[in-house]
Homo-oligomer: A and B are copies of this chain.
């Protein structure tokens, strides 16, 4: 066993240390670490090796301090939102492709949007990406106003704001779901309203217009309360399930604008002896990892996290690197969803 060295002190090595170690100049080390032109391949190899050996990594703070422009993207996300982690993960390689680093900031119960933004501003991020942030219009407005860098919001946000919005085509996802159910022969398609969710109203409207276009009745199941986090979505779905069970007669299909809620509903129905899809067809939205489980196998519309991340990074980089003169209007970019039919939806029961 190697000697115990936890708690080891000693200052971390600097570029000068690496240079001294190799008997070369400090700026040559800098060139290598930045992948800048001006060093031979052999030198690069030697420098990298020495850096590994000495445990050297360039001081990020010193680098951002000195650099003329920032090469850091600030990403604000909500750890409690399980469905969004894939977006966050996808950002890293995309940012790297453009030459940007990423700094994460978590939005939690004890840490408001303002504290998070201040942290990212402190890191002198070139742009801020908000992933699924619970946006309050007023708060956002003040915030964007205080921040001197472009802001891109993924999954929520007002149109025509001072920031760009990337969102999934929730309305079209709902339309696809309705068309799918109608093609299976469903007449009674209920919809669980989750209007407090970002994009909730949009998805509801997609359902409503699709149902009307196809000559079916709008049937909204409302659940009380504010549902903003994943934990609560499941509860909201469970509550909707109980509401449905109290009806004299179940609809033949239920559409839920969020997979977590759909799963909560599914479990509640199952616990009460209602089989899916034999008794009721169920369709969600998101394509949560859980939805793919064989025991759930939920028909849903997939939000492609990779595409959302790519759109967000692209927009941010374009804003950052835009000529100061060419101030384009902020916009809303809609990313299509993919409808995935699984076994939670089938032909309606008879009677």
**Chain A residues proximal to chain B, CB less than 8 Å:** 1-2, 4-10, 12, 52, 55, 57-65, 79-80, 82, 85, 88-89, 92-93, 101, 103-106, 108-111, 118-119, 121-124, 141, 144-151, 160, 162-164, 230-231, 234-235, 238, 241, 264, 267-268, 270-271, 289-290, 292-296, 319-320, 322, 324, 326-330
Contact = CB atoms under 8 A, between A and B. Distances in A.
Copies of this subunit:
2
Contacts of A111: 89, 92-93
Contacts of A64: 59, 61
A322 B1 contact: no
Q: Is the interface of A mostly helix, strand, loop or mixed?
A: mixed
A89 B62 contact: no
A59 B122 contact: yes
B106 A92 contact: yes
Contacts of A122: 57-60
A55 B104 contact: no
A293 B12 CA distance: 48
Contact of A271 (B145, B149, B295): B295
Given A12-B124, A61-B62, A104-B106, 13 more contacts: A4-B327, A4-B329, A5-B162, A6-B319, A9-B324, A52-B146, A57-B119, A57-B122, A60-B119, A88-B106, A231-B292, A235-B294, A238-B293
Contacts of A163: 6
B322 A294 contact: no
A293 B151 contact: no
